[in-house]
């Protein structure tokens, strides 16, 4: 796979600033790692010094930079990060080839519905009764698909994914290795005998179109009804979504975050790493929760919150700044106290 400078400009919707239109690259890399046969991009001003020392053949750049390195071809684009992603997708297409077929070690219930010429099922995968699998879906090695699961078209399940019974996946859903969709929610009641008794979890999980789920993430089935992840939402590795959680469309949930049962998250929300959200809350659309935020009450729409308990970002920043001054203030108070208590005053 290769691209000329002219083809890079066409693929990214950019404008050639300099370089031979026939200059060819064969892959992509970071600014400092790229060779003259690779393309790169400047998407953040923090990497401007790396940009000035790059050996890349072609670099995607934003408009009106103050300086440019020599012997590099440039394509000007409005959003270099997004444009670079188009190049990554182009070159990744050569690394991944969808090849239909059923591995002979796969165990598939005869009542499952799919076109064997239009899906791929890997080694040692099990597919249960009455499943429905859309064309173009690629199920990796060692997956376990429970009874009654439905999947849309062009889904991709990497190795050792578990989809438990009756759960529903839209089209173009991608699930990374080790994720579990439809595990039992954490529901127990204390019985009269002083022992916890499990509450049956009889609902399902429903993932919308174009949802991505990271490695070793777990999404619990509803106690009854549905745990829902909306269209286009991107979920990182090691995320926990509790039973009956509803996540809206086009949200981002970053590593090691957890959302407790029955909480509802609006569309386009951003939940940063290691955020903890209590149950039965409402998180407003387009809200942003900073890293390590602890949420114990509802969050409005179109706001940024941070800290524990979650506070508006400016308030939390001031509180954190004041907290860092606390040791010095304590020393000052002790010094004033000793001075006041000294003999002769």
The string of DSSP letters for 298-342 reads -B-SS-EEETTTTEEHHHHHHHHHHHHTHHHHHHHHHHHHHHHHS
Say how far apart CA 270 and CA 290 lie, in whole Å: 8
Say how far apart CA 171 and CA 183 lie, in whole Å: 21
For residue 133, the SS3 value is strand
Residue 50 φ/ψ, nearest 5 degrees: -60, -40
**Which of 243, 250, 280, 334 is the catalytic position?**
243
Bridge partners of 207, per DSSP, are 169, 229
Using only C-alpha atoms, the chain has a radius of gyration, in whole angstroms, of 26
C-alpha distances (whole Å) from 265 to each of 201, 202, 208, 233, 293 are 21, 22, 15, 11, 15
C-alpha distances (whole Å) from 99 to each of 118, 238, 334, 341 are 9, 29, 74, 84
For residue 327, the SS3 value is helix
For residue 111, the SS3 value is coil
Query: Can you read off the two tokens belonging to residue 142?
Result: 């060692």
Query: Can you read off the two tokens belonging to residue 228?
Result: 């829902």
Say how far apart CA 290 and CA 165 lie, in whole Å: 35
Q: Could you tell me how many residues make up the chain?
A: 345
Query: Can you read off the two tokens belonging to residue 157?
Result: 């399940």
Q: Is 250 known to be catalytic?
A: no
- Is there a cis peptide before residue 309, judged by omega within 30 degrees of 0? yes
Query: Can you read off the two tokens belonging to residue 15?
Result: 């404008």
Q: Which residues are catalytic?
A: 243
């Amino acid at each position: 796979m290769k691209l000329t400078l002219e083809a890079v400009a066409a693929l990214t919707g950019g404008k050639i600033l300099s370089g031979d239109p026939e200059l060819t690259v064969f892959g992509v890399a970071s600014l400092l790692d790229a060779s003259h046969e690779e393309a790169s991009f400047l998407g953040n001003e923090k990497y401007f010094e790396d940009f000035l020392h790059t050996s890349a053949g072609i670099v995607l750049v934003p408009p009106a930079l103050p300086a440019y390195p020599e012997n590099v071809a440039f394509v000007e684009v409005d959003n270099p990060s997004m444009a670079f992603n188009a190049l990554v997708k182009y070159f990744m297409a050569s690394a991944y080839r969808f090849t239909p077929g059923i591995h002979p070690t796969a165990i598939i219930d005869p009542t499952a519905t799919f076109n064997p010429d239009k899906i791929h099922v890997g080694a040692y995968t099990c597919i249960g009764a009455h499943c429905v699998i859309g064309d173009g879906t690629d199920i990796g090695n060692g997956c376990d698909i429970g009874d009654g699961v439905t999947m849309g078209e062009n889904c991709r399940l990497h190795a050792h994914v578990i989809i438990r019974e009756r759960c529903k996946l839209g089209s173009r859903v991608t699930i990374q290795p080790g994720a579990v969709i439809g595990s039992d929610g954490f529901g127990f009641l204390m019985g009269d005998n002083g022992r916890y008794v499990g509450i049956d979890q009889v609902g399902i999980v429903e993932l919308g179109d174009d949802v991505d789920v990271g490695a070793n993430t777990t999404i619990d089935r509803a106690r009854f009804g549905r745990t829902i992840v909306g269209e286009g939402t991107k979920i990182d590795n090691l995320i926990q979504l509790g039973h009956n959680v509803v996540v809206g469309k086009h949200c981002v949930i970053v590593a090691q975050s957890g959302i407790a049962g029955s909480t509802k998250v609006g569309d386009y929300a951003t939940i940063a790493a290691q955020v903890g959200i209590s149950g039965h809350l409402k998180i407003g659309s387009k809200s942003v929760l900073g890293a390590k935020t602890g949420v114990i009450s509802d969050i409005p729409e179109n706001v940024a919150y941070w800290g524990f308990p979650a506070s508006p970002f400016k308030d939390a920043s001031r509180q954190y700044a004041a907290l860092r001054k606390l040791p010095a203030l304590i020393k000052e108070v002790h010094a004033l106290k000793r001075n006041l208590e000294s003999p002769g005053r």
